[in-house]
Amino acid sequence: MVKTIDRIIQFIQYAGLSARKFDMSIGASNGYTLRMKKNHASVGSDVIENIVRTYPQLNLIWLITGEGEMLNPDKAVLHTGKLSKSQIKEIEEIVEAKIKERQERELKEMLEDIAHEITKRTRSKDN
Protein backbone atom coordinates (compact mmCIF):
# COMPACT_ATOMS: atom_id res chain seq x y z
CA MET A 1 0.00 0.00 0.00
CA VAL A 2 1.37 3.39 -0.99
CA LYS A 3 1.32 5.85 1.87
CA THR A 4 1.50 9.61 2.07
CA ILE A 5 5.19 9.40 2.94
CA ASP A 6 5.81 7.54 -0.32
CA ARG A 7 4.12 10.34 -2.25
CA ILE A 8 6.19 12.91 -0.34
CA ILE A 9 9.36 11.08 -1.40
CA GLN A 10 8.04 11.04 -4.97
CA PHE A 11 7.50 14.81 -4.86
CA ILE A 12 10.97 15.39 -3.37
CA GLN A 13 12.51 13.42 -6.23
CA TYR A 14 10.35 15.21 -8.80
CA ALA A 15 11.39 18.60 -7.42
CA GLY A 16 15.06 17.60 -7.43
CA LEU A 17 15.45 18.34 -3.72
CA SER A 18 17.36 16.40 -1.13
CA ALA A 19 15.35 14.99 1.77
CA ARG A 20 17.36 17.23 4.10
CA LYS A 21 16.56 20.37 2.11
CA PHE A 22 12.90 19.37 1.99
CA ASP A 23 12.80 18.71 5.76
CA MET A 24 14.33 22.09 6.47
CA SER A 25 11.94 23.84 4.11
CA ILE A 26 8.88 22.53 5.96
CA GLY A 27 10.34 23.07 9.43
CA ALA A 28 10.78 19.37 10.19
CA SER A 29 13.79 17.99 11.99
CA ASN A 30 16.74 16.84 9.93
CA GLY A 31 16.12 13.26 8.80
CA TYR A 32 12.36 13.40 9.42
CA THR A 33 11.26 12.34 5.95
CA LEU A 34 13.71 9.48 5.60
CA ARG A 35 12.94 8.28 9.14
CA MET A 36 9.20 8.24 8.37
CA LYS A 37 9.87 6.35 5.15
CA LYS A 38 12.10 3.81 6.87
CA ASN A 39 9.52 3.19 9.63
CA HIS A 40 6.53 3.19 7.24
CA ALA A 41 5.09 5.82 9.58
CA SER A 42 2.17 8.15 9.13
CA VAL A 43 2.79 11.82 8.53
CA GLY A 44 1.11 14.21 10.96
CA SER A 45 -1.41 16.79 9.86
CA ASP A 46 0.87 19.62 11.04
CA VAL A 47 3.59 18.38 8.68
CA ILE A 48 1.11 18.09 5.81
CA GLU A 49 -0.04 21.66 6.49
CA ASN A 50 3.56 22.88 6.34
CA ILE A 51 4.17 20.96 3.11
CA VAL A 52 1.12 22.41 1.37
CA ARG A 53 1.90 25.90 2.68
CA THR A 54 5.51 25.68 1.45
CA TYR A 55 4.70 23.92 -1.84
CA PRO A 56 1.32 25.26 -2.99
CA GLN A 57 1.79 23.62 -6.38
CA LEU A 58 1.41 20.22 -4.68
CA ASN A 59 -2.09 18.75 -4.96
CA LEU A 60 -3.34 18.05 -1.42
CA ILE A 61 -5.81 15.37 -2.60
CA TRP A 62 -3.01 13.53 -4.39
CA LEU A 63 -0.71 13.89 -1.40
CA ILE A 64 -3.21 12.34 1.00
CA THR A 65 -5.08 9.84 -1.20
CA GLY A 66 -2.93 9.32 -4.27
CA GLU A 67 -5.84 10.33 -6.50
CA GLY A 68 -5.44 12.85 -9.29
CA GLU A 69 -2.27 14.58 -10.41
CA MET A 70 0.73 15.37 -8.22
CA LEU A 71 0.58 19.05 -9.09
CA ASN A 72 -2.29 21.49 -9.16
CA PRO A 73 -2.68 22.43 -12.84
CA ASP A 74 -2.95 26.15 -12.09
CA LYS A 75 0.06 26.16 -9.78
CA ALA A 76 2.29 23.56 -11.41
CA VAL A 77 5.91 24.54 -11.74
CA LEU A 78 6.48 22.34 -14.77
CA HIS A 79 4.38 19.66 -16.45
CA THR A 80 7.17 17.46 -17.81
CA GLY A 81 8.18 15.89 -14.50
CA LYS A 82 11.66 17.40 -14.64
CA LEU A 83 12.79 20.76 -13.37
CA SER A 84 15.27 22.93 -15.20
CA LYS A 85 18.40 24.13 -13.43
CA SER A 86 16.93 27.62 -13.13
CA GLN A 87 13.75 26.22 -11.55
CA ILE A 88 15.79 24.12 -9.12
CA LYS A 89 17.83 27.21 -8.24
CA GLU A 90 14.63 29.20 -7.74
CA ILE A 91 13.20 26.49 -5.46
CA GLU A 92 16.44 26.39 -3.48
CA GLU A 93 16.36 30.18 -3.07
CA ILE A 94 12.76 30.00 -1.86
CA VAL A 95 13.64 27.17 0.53
CA GLU A 96 16.61 29.12 1.90
CA ALA A 97 14.45 32.22 2.36
CA LYS A 98 11.76 30.17 4.14
CA ILE A 99 14.39 28.59 6.41
CA LYS A 100 15.87 32.00 7.24
CA GLU A 101 12.41 33.45 7.87
CA ARG A 102 11.49 30.56 10.18
CA GLN A 103 14.81 30.78 12.06
CA GLU A 104 14.40 34.53 12.54
CA ARG A 105 10.84 34.08 13.78
CA GLU A 106 11.91 31.35 16.22
CA LEU A 107 14.82 33.45 17.48
CA LYS A 108 12.52 36.43 18.02
CA GLU A 109 10.06 34.24 19.94
CA MET A 110 12.88 32.82 22.05
CA LEU A 111 14.20 36.29 22.87
CA GLU A 112 10.68 37.40 23.84
CA ASP A 113 10.35 34.35 26.09
CA ILE A 114 13.69 35.11 27.72
CA ALA A 115 12.75 38.75 28.29
CA HIS A 116 9.44 37.64 29.80
CA GLU A 117 11.21 35.15 32.07
CA ILE A 118 13.71 37.81 33.21
CA THR A 119 10.88 40.21 33.98
CA LYS A 120 9.02 37.50 35.87
CA ARG A 121 12.10 36.59 37.93
CA THR A 122 12.88 40.23 38.66
CA ARG A 123 9.35 40.79 39.95
CA SER A 124 9.48 37.72 42.18
CA LYS A 125 12.80 38.84 43.69
CA ASP A 126 11.38 42.30 44.41
CA ASN A 127 8.48 40.79 46.35
pLDDT of residue 16: 87
Instruction: Give the confidence band of 75 by pLDDT, cuts at 50, 70, 90.
Output: low
pLDDT of residue 97: 79
Percent of the chain with pLDDT over 70: 90
* Contact by Cβ (8 Å): 68, 59: yes
Mean pLDDT of the chain: 85
Give per-residue pLDDT as tens, 80-126. Answer: 455 667 777 777 778 777 778 888 888 899 999 999 999 988 888 87
Distance between CA atoms of residues 98 and 74, nearest Å: 22
C-alpha angle with apex 38: 32 to 44, nearest 5 degrees? Answer: 45
Q: Which helix (H) or strand (E) holds 99?
A: helix 85-126
Give per-residue pLDDT as tens, 9-20. Answer: 999 998 888 999
